[in-house]
Amino acid sequence: MSAAPNAPAAPPKQPATQEKKGFREGWSAWAKQLPRLDFPETPNLGYKLIDENQLFNVVLKDASPQAKQKLKDDMDFLDGELLRLFRDRDFEASLNQNRYRLFQIGFMLLAAIATLLGSLQGLALNQTPDAVPLLALMETIVALLTTYLATISGREPALPEWLSNRRRAEYLRREYFRYLMNLPPYETVDGYERKLMLSTRAANINRGIYPDQQGDGT
C-alpha cells in the first residue's frame, strides 16, 4: 500500500505590521516593498505586538488562571508604558523608509529621462536641428527637478531617520518580550521596582539611549 501523499504546507504567516489588513495582498514580496504615495498620517493605535486571542485561547489554553492573569496584567501595563512608544518609533521608521525609497526612485527616473533626452539631442543634431532647443529646454527642466529633489532630501535626510527610528523600535520590541518573559534584568525585581525599571528603560530607548551601552547594564 503506497504512503499517503504529504499534505500541502500551510502558507507562511505574514509578520504583523501597522499596515491595514489586506494591504497589497497577493503581491509578490519585492512589490510589497515599493514605496507608496498615500502613506498614513498617524500610527495605527490598535496595533499590538501579540494577538491576545491567539495567545490566551490557543497557545496558553491549558495554563492556570493565575498565570494568564499575571500575563494579562503585564501586557496591559506594557500597552501604556512601552507599546505606545513602539508604535511611534515603528511608524516613523516606516515613514522615513518610504520617503527614502521615493527619493531613490525619483532620482533613477530623472537620470533615465536625462539620458534619454541627451541621446535624442545627439540624434536631432543631424536629422532635426530645430528640435535641439526644445530638447535642451526639457533637459534643463529635468536638471532643475533633480536639484530640487536633492535639496529637499538633503534638508531632512530620510536614511538616517529611518535607521535611527528602526533601531529604537527594535530595542523596544525586544524590551517588550524581555518583560513578559521575565528575562534579565527583570528577574531580580518585582512589583513597583519592576514596573519602574521597565518605564525607565523604555523612556531611555525612545530617546536613543540603549541599555547595553550603559555602564550598569540596566
What percentage of the chain reaches a pLDDT higher than 70?
Answer: 87
pLDDT at 2: 46
When pLDDT is cut at 50, 70 and 90, the band that residue 1 belongs to is: very low
pLDDT digits (tens, 9 = 90+) for 57-68: 888 888 888 988
Least confident stretch, 26-30, 131-135, 168-172, 192-196: 26-30
In a domain, 21, yes or no: no
**Backbone dihedral region of 210: left (phi > 0), alpha (psi from -120 to 50 degrees) or beta?**
beta
Q: Check: pTM over 0.75? Answer yes or no.
A: yes
Least confident stretch, 19-23, 79-83, 106-110, 180-184: 19-23
> How far is residue 26's CA from residue 174's CA, in Å, rounded to a whole number?
30
pLDDT at 4: 47
C-beta separation of 96 from 81 below 8 A:
no
Cell of 92: 516613523
C-beta separation of 63 from 183 below 8 A:
no
In a domain, 38, yes or no: no
In a domain, 39, yes or no: no
Coil vs helix vs strand at 186? helix
Q: How many helices (H) and strands (E) does the chain have?
A: 7, 0
In a domain, 112, yes or no: yes
Coil vs helix vs strand at 212? helix
Q: How many domains does the chain have?
A: 1
pLDDT digits (tens, 9 = 90+) for 126-168: 788 888 888 889 989 999 998 888 888 888 889 999 999 999 9
The single residue listed with the C-alpha cell 499534505 is 7
In a domain, 10, yes or no: no
Domain of 143, in residue numbers: 64-209
pLDDT at 56: 85
Angle CA 33–39–42, to nearest 5: 125
Least confident stretch, 29-33, 111-115, 167-171: 29-33
In a domain, 185, yes or no: yes
When pLDDT is cut at 50, 70 and 90, the band that residue 40 belongs to is: confident
Q: Which residues contact 82 (CB under 8 A, 6 or more apart)?
A: 172, 175, 176, 179, 198, 202
Cell of 18: 501597522
Report CA dihedral (25, 30, 31, 34) to the nearest 10 degrees. Answer: 120
Cell of 74: 503585564
